[in-house]
Structure 1
Amino acid sequence: MTRNLLTDVAGISVGNAHDEALASGATAILFETPAVAALDIRGGGPGTRDSALLDLANTVERIDGLALSGGSAFGLETGGGIQAWLAAQGRGFAIGDARVPIVPGAVVFDLLNGGNKKWGRFSPYRDLGFAAAENATTDDFALGNAGAGYGATTANYKGGLGSASTTVLDGITVAALAVVNAVGTVTVGDGPWFWSAPFEENGEFGGRGLPPAFTPDMRTARLKGADNARAGENTTLVVVATDAALTKPQARRLAILAQTGFARAIYPAHAPLDGDIVFAVSLGDKPVEPLYGLTQLGMFAANVVARAIARGVYEAHALPFADTLPAWRDRFGT
């Protein structure tokens, strides 16, 4: 049974944790066995943990998990919580008798969304990461106001956590998970239509299609914080996973191809104020032809990224604070 979630790729579990008063949270993506991984960064303001490990020139090829979080740089502690949980399970990169869980990660900025960020000496993100890892499941998981997407926003509507999957190329599965906190919009103007509409499947984000015509207002830039140039309040994080057998360089190419999904779903994408990132992970042993096969896999990966981004906004609900952004559902229902 397919769930239209990242967990449709065998060997992946996803867990979420959040704090309502904080208005922020964390998402843990765990792998049953170490996964081949790479990444591609296109945004101008990324916040990452252990991203250098995923460089093609560096030694480590496989990782034990990924940490996604709110909290800007404070949220980088999320990876430590996930790492602690994995260490307790005896997981990690073996160096002699020592084992070090490898948990790269990335964060979004949600510090000005109305929640109480006065946490004292230490931020709560390490504990949120541990809780997210404890909650990890290979089954269904929540979208919208969940995990790292709990406090996310876009320029005009509440953002959130989204996911989508598809099966292609004689049985290969490719899926995406997105934390949507973009500087731009995921909708066409302020209407009910999503830029991702041509790639929607089974009415997964409302089935509204595209507008009958595009007006100049729809093409006008709607940018979060443009009125006071508060840089860095943005970023969309994506994890793309597949059960195709890929090398680390092939995973990097998959991440590059998957970035096309940002451009299909967000207007604009990859801005100086964004920290847009795609992590690509390979689990399983299904062969893929290295030229045309990998190209097609990347094409479908971009499609599921675009769908996951739209679902992150479609599934979200407004935060319970004064002067917060409305949710898409507040305006248009389901």
Structure 2
Amino acid sequence: MPGPLNLLTDIEGVAVGHATDLALGSGVTTVVFDKPAIASGMVLGGAPGGRETSLLDPSMTVETVDAFVLSGGSAFGLDAAGGVQSGLREIGRGFAVGDVRVPIVPQAILMDLLNGGDKNWGLHSPYRDMGYEAFKAATGGAFRLGTVGAGTGATTATVKGGLGSASALTSSGHVVAALVATNALGSATVGDGPHFWAAPYEVDNEFGGLGLPHPTDTRLRIKGVRITATTIGVVVTDAVLTKAQAHRLSLAAHDGLARAIMPVHLPFDGDTVFSAATAKKEVKEARDLMEIFHLAALVTSRAVARGVFEATALPVANAQPSWRDRFGSSVSK
């Protein structure tokens, strides 16, 4: 079952903030931890863009992060982490180096430069300021999904992409949750219809309750072989994990991407998942740990579908239609 909000913020000590520019057709989402969190991650797409991703390797010295950033803007969007760092430095957060504190803020970006938004921003990109705006907006409560934050300019092979989130509770009371900006080269939906690949894992009709079609259509559907795309996300648990276990958590979440998007992890995708453990609740049994990894995949799949289901088309000429534009009538009011 999901947590009370069915969002990443069902995990105590986690806040999420967005900056959204519909005219730009892009945005930034940040995940801020109230205390440094054990963190790792994994890149499985062939065309990634990121910042501070190397330190997430389990063999690297720094074990914790202060925040994660997901952003549009392709490589220009990497400026966003600087804005989040500014906000963290402003409140005295960061890794201690002598009498200096350096906020640790890994970031992943997605390619949304060709979605019709106005990218003529002048000399400097707007993403540093958007990162700071997202940090200041971060809240531990409910937050919007769909065409917002890092999901603002996202697209897929069939319908508008977006930002989604989902949570779940283990039988021992741990919380596992994911936040995903789906900007896939492939598709989150089956064939040319409204059904989601993630349908078997849906909870409480959170993305329409349509189930799967019979038979399913597995023919290749992609945006185009020269269009770089990326699905980026974060999976978090309140369990006490080592950095190596957090790394395994990100791998489990990639299983969730593979169940919700077809195809995924292509040479022109940059698919990246960050992972973190807030260490609020001990893991007493091996089975509890296995269930955390299992649910990490499921909440990631559900977050993909929720983001696409909640998305709306950009207010620009020839914008890609949303799932609701094409299939909204298939969901009972």
Task: Give the alignment's TM-score, normalised by structure 1.
Answer: 0.96
The match for 2:158 among 156, 159, 162 is 156
Identity %: 54
SS in 2 for 1:99: strand
After TM superposition, give the deviation of residue 289 of structure 1 in Å: 4.8
| Structure 1 position 254 matched with structure 2 position 253 | no
Residue 237 of structure 1 corresponds to which residue in structure 2?
Answer: 232
Match of 1:107 in 2: 109
2:278 aligned with 1:283: yes
How far 1:290 sits from its partner (Å)?
6.9
Q: 1:185: Cα distance to partner?
A: 0.5
Q: Which aligned pairs between 1:77-116 and structure 2 lie closer than 5 A?
A: 77-116=79-118
Q: Distance in 2 between matches of 1:260 and 1:54?
A: 19
Give the structure 2 partner of residue 34 of structure 1. 36
2:185 maps to what in 1? 183
The 10-residue stretch of structure 1 (282-291 or 262-271) with the greater mean CA deviation from structure 2: 282-291
3-state SS of 2:118 partner: coil
> CA contact under 8 A between 2:259 and 2:301: conserved in structure 1?
yes
Task: Report SS of the residue matched to 1:29.
Answer: strand
AA aligned to 1:133 is F
Aligned residue in 2 for 1:221: 220
Deviations 1:202-240 (A, max 9, x none): 0000000011322xxx22111112xxx3242x1101100
2: CA distance, partners of 1:158 / 1:172 = 33
CA distance in 2: counterparts of 1:285 and 1:33, whole angstroms: 11
How far, CA to CA, are the matches of 2:117 and 2:99 in structure 1?
43
TM-score, reference length from structure 2 = 0.96
Distance in 1 (CA, whole Å) between partners of 2:321 and 2:171 is: 40
State whether structure 2 residue 12 is matched by structure 1 residue 4: no
Deviation, structure 1 residue 59: 1.1
Q: Give the Cα–Cα distance (whole angstroms) in 1 for the partners of residues 53 and 271 of structure 2.
A: 13
Moved more, 103-112 or 270-279: 270-279
Distance of 1:261 and 1:132 partners within structure 2: 26
Whole-Å separation in 2 of the counterparts to 1:82 and 1:222 = 36
Task: Give the CA deviation at 1:288.
Answer: 2.0
Q: Which amino acid aligns with 2:139?
A: T
Whether the aligned pair in 1 keeps the contact of 2:70 and 2:233 (CA below 8 Å) is no
Q: Deviations over 1:168-218 (max 9, x none)?
A: 03100000000000000100112111000000000000000011322xxx2
Asked if 2 retains the 8 angstrom alpha-carbon contact of 1:65 and 1:104, the reply is yes
How far did 1:292 drift?
3.6
Q: What displacement does 1:286 show?
A: 1.5
Distance of 1:72 and 1:299 partners within structure 2: 31
Matched, 1:44 2:49: no
Q: After TM superposition, give the deviation of residue 293 of structure 1 in Å.
A: 3.0
1:131 aligned partner: 133
Deviation at 1:259, TM superposition (A): 1.0
Give distance in 2, aligned partners of 1:207 and 1:138: 28
Matched, 1:145 2:147: yes
Q: What amino acid is the match of 2:238?
A: D
- Runs of 5+ unmatched residues, structure 1: none
Quote the RMSD (CA, aligned, Å): 1.1
* 1:141-184 Cα deviation digits (max 9, x unpaired): 01000100000000010000000001003100000000000000
- The counterpart of 1:200, out of the listed 202, 218, 237, is 202
Distance of 1:92 and 1:315 partners within structure 2: 34
Q: Of 249, 260, 263, which aligns to 1:265? A: 260
Q: Detail structure 1 runs of 4+ shifted over 4 Å in the superposition.
A: none
The SS at the match of 1:274 is coil
* Aligned residue identity for 2:162: G
Counterpart CA distance in 1 for 2:55 and 2:215 is 46
- The answer (yes or no) to whether the contact 2:37–2:276 under 8 Å persists in 1 is yes
2: distance between equivalents of 1:133 and 1:286? 26
